[in-house]
Amino acid sequence: MKPNLRKYAAGLLRPAFLKGRLGALVGKTVEEWGLRLAYAGKVSRWLQENPLEPQFDSRYELYSHVIDSADLRGPITYLEFGVATGRSIAWWVDNNAHKDSALYGFDCFTGLPEEWYWHPKGTFDQGGATPDIDDKRVTWVKGYFQNTLQSFIRSHDLDRRLVVHLDADLFTSTHFVLGSLAPYLKPNDIIIFDEFTRLTDATHEFRAFHDFVTAYGMQFSVLGASGGYVQVAMRVDATACA
Ligand SMILES: C[S@@+](CC[C@H](N)C(=O)[O-])C[C@H]1O[C@@H](n2cnc3c(N)ncnc32)[C@H](O)[C@@H]1O
């Protein structure tokens, strides 16, 4: 566009831009589909560059592979974001027997703070009750991540091998956790996504991961996946742009 024409078009658009008319014109549905379309392109390119291999039939087979291939039988600090009834953290309690491991389950235990697809706000509500797991190595961190994680970080040592399990489903929750943990992630730490992407929508966990990597310049490699592209395990390779 020629500079004069651009100036003229900007003059026409600016009032609509500043007074919310552009927002009203575009509308939330178009915004949502635009976002979906944008991340469909990004996830498709990312998957081409990062093949999700090897593949497993269940997430528990994937976890076993991660334990073997990343040598996770020693002491680990396991941080799970999104616990609900405790099915996934129970697996890790049973399968990392090291007495010095510490496992932390973060959840409000009142369900999803926002709607997620057809699941309304409050889905997975446990009435505030924590899972019945009898192991001294496990600690529940109850509340919204946005209210608990920063003070947890200030009062805990995160120097040990970290396994971060992200199962909060939502973009907002996942993005907050990744950004908060960014300064503490180190090479060989593990990140597992439980709902990395869907065929029709990559605007939750994948979007959180993509935006996080873009902002922090970290490098990861894929350790494996299950359900095609649903659960994905990654290893931190480098913590800043090479
Ligand atoms: C899919 S469920 C977790 C399932 C569990 N990992 C399992 O394998 O059975 C998602 C959980 O994330 C929690 N959650 C999502 N966002 C949260 C947030 N910002 N703060 C606290 N909890 C959150 C919800 O309360 C819900 O229990």
What is the CATH classification number for the domain harbouring 192? 3.40.50.150
Per-residue model confidence as pLDDT tens digits over 63-107 = 999 999 999 999 999 999 999 999 999 999 999 999 999 999 999
pLDDT at 16 over 80: yes
Number of residues written out for the chain: 242
Same-domain status, 44 and 67: no
Taking the C-alpha atoms of residue 230 and residue 196, their distance in angstroms, rounded to an integer, is: 5
Which residue from 147, 145, 175, 178 is spatially nearest to 164, judged by alpha carbons?
Answer: 178
Question: Which of ligand 1's atoms lies nearest the C-alpha of 87?
Answer: 9
Q: What is the pLDDT of residue 23?
A: 86
**Does residue 189 line the site of ligand 1, with CB under 6 A?**
no
Beta strands in 71-189 (DSSP E): 77-81, 102-107, 138-142, 162-166
What pTM does this model have? 0.94
My answer on whether 45 and 68 are in the same domain is no
Residue 84's pLDDT is: 98
Domain match, 69 and 166 both: yes
Q: Is the pLDDT reported for residue 137 higher than 70?
A: yes
Q: Which domain holds residue 90?
A: 55-238
Domains: count for the chain: 2
- How many other C-beta atoms lie within 10 A of the C-beta of residue 51? 10
Closest CA to 81 of 175, 203, 206: 175
Confidence grade of residue 241 (pLDDT, cut at 50, 70, 90): low
Are the beta carbons of 112 and 88 closer than 8 angstroms? no
Same domain assignment for residues 194 and 163: yes
Ligand 1 centroid–CA 131 distance in Å is 12
Nearest to 165 by CA among 101, 78, 35, 236: 78
d(CA 4, CA 104): 59
For residues 115 and 21, membership in a common domain is answered with no
Q: Which atom of ligand 1 is nearest to the CA of 147?
A: 20
* Pocket lining: 144 vs ligand 1, CB cutoff 6 Å: yes
Is any ligand 1 atom within 6 A of the Cβ of residue 169? Answer: yes
Verify whether ligand 1 is closer than 6 Å to residue 87 (CB atom).
yes
The mean of the pLDDT values for the chain is 95
Mean pLDDT in residue range 205-209: 98
Instruction: Indicate if ligand 1 lies below 6 Å from the C-beta of 105.
Output: no
